[in-house]
Amino acid sequence: MAQRIARADVRQRPLGGSGWVRQQLPPAVGECYADRFELEPGLAVVRSRYGPVDDLVEENASADGASTLVVTLGIAGDSGYVGRDGTCIGFRAGHTAVSSFRNNVGERRYQAGALVSQLRLLVSEPLLVRYLGEPGRALMPEAGVRQLAWRGTSPAAAAHAAALARSAGDPPQEALDLHIHALSLLAEQLRGLTPPLAQAPQRLRQADAEKIERVRDLMAAQMDRALTVGYLCTAVGLSESKLKQGLRQRFDTSPHRMLLEMRMQRAWTLLASGSQVAQAAWQVGYAHPSNFSAAFTRFFGRTPKSVFGPRGGAGREGTPEA
């Protein structure tokens, strides 16, 4: 049965005079801690290392009304995050996830006996707006959690993560180095999420932007159907070129990729909740379980049957994460 850790169970202590603060879970859980360094108001770096002895569920909540963008680089192992609304985000070694949260309550989930090491960059909405203007505000959800990107970690991001993961020893110099690498990492991740300034005049009209949002909502509501680009265009009143351009500009993705990611994340949640493979396949639009299993394995790097749900017990999670 999974151990559940509430925020009140986590203890904090400074690591000497380095400026780092360690958040430590109870020793009985295993070697599980996260070290946090506040670079400036609204910008922090977190280095975490979790090796639970049993399946672990750690409660997590953002401050009331606060909006935060989180860049998570998987260094070792897999873990998952599940929001109160059922949104599931996975974290995997060698991959980078970019997510945004507003007033969100959820759970981080870890597998027993598996080491998970991650580096996270936490950026507040005011800081994003300071650097990006209104495009920074547009990255935040109205409520809950929103996944913005999930991709293989680039060599440049890996280099910045390596620098952020080690301690230089001299606190003033270390803080400066950390700040430089953190902002460089943030700039690289935002480059694919916001349009270049030179493209600002080509931004979507408000009416078209609302239609693109409706496309995403339709995919989420009707992912069990055989959706086509033609159907989506007709349903929201956009041409195929405008729909593809809008998804690329608004979400940095294509219709096929957005639908696939939605289906796979939903399938993971269903499987982790106890659904059989055939049931999950049908609910996310696959008529044949074998086709679903092949797509799931390509997407996550593991089979649907390897995701154990609470069939008479606690769930066992390990998806791609915030």
- Name which CATH class applies to 3-191: mainly beta
- Name the residue ranges covered by the structural domains of the chain: 3-191, 197-251
Instruction: Please tell me the distance from the alpha carbon of residue 272 to that of residue 78, in angstroms, as a whole number.
Output: 14
Dump the DSSP string for 175-213. HHHHHHHHHHHHHHHHHTTS--GGGGGGPPPHHHHHHHH
DSSP letter at 308 equals B
Look up tokens 């599931």; give the residue. Answer: 88
Give the CA-trace dihedral at 16, 22, 28, 31, to 10 degrees. -90
DSSP 81-145: EEETT--EEEEETTEEEEEEEES-EEEEEE-TT--EEEEEEEEEHHHHHHHHSHHHHHTS-SSEE
Report angle CA 102, 107, 113 to the nearest 5 degrees.
Answer: 145
The string of pLDDT tens digits covering residues 43-72 is: 999 999 999 999 999 988 765 567 899 999
Q: Which two tokens stand for residue 19?
A: 């400026």
Residue 170's pLDDT is what?
Answer: 52
How far apart are alpha carbons 12 and 291 in whole angstroms?
A: 47
Q: In terms of DSSP bridges, do strands 105-110 and 56-61 run parallel, antiparallel, or are they unpaired?
A: antiparallel
State in Å, rounded, how far the first CA of the chain is from the last one.
24
Task: Calculate Rg over the CA atoms of the chain.
Answer: 20
Q: d(Cα 313, Cα 6) in Å, to the nearest integer?
A: 19
Q: What does the DSSP assignment read for 32-69?
A: EEEEEEEEETTEEEEEEEEEESS-EEEEEEPPTT-EEE
Q: Which residue has the tokens 């380095």?
A: 18
pLDDT tens per residue, range 30-46: 999 999 999 899 999 99
What is the value of pTM for the model shown?
Answer: 0.62
Question: How deeply is 291 buried, as exposed, middle or buried, from its count of CB atoms within 10 A (0-12, 13-18, 19+)?
Answer: exposed
Tokens 């970690």 belong to which residue? Answer: 153
Task: Give the percent of the chain with pLDDT over 70.
Answer: 87
Each residue's pLDDT tens digit in the chain (322 positions)?
A: 678 888 888 999 998 777 889 999 999 999 999 999 998 999 999 999 999 999 999 988 765 567 899 999 999 999 988 887 777 788 899 999 999 988 778 889 999 999 999 999 999 999 988 888 888 888 888 878 888 888 889 988 999 888 888 754 455 556 778 888 899 999 888 886 755 433 443 556 778 888 888 998 999 999 998 888 888 988 888 888 888 888 888 787 889 989 999 999 899 989 988 889 999 999 999 989 999 999 998 888 888 988 866 543 334 444 443 3
Q: How distant, in Å, are the alpha carbons of 222, 249, 258 from that of 233?
A: 14, 16, 15
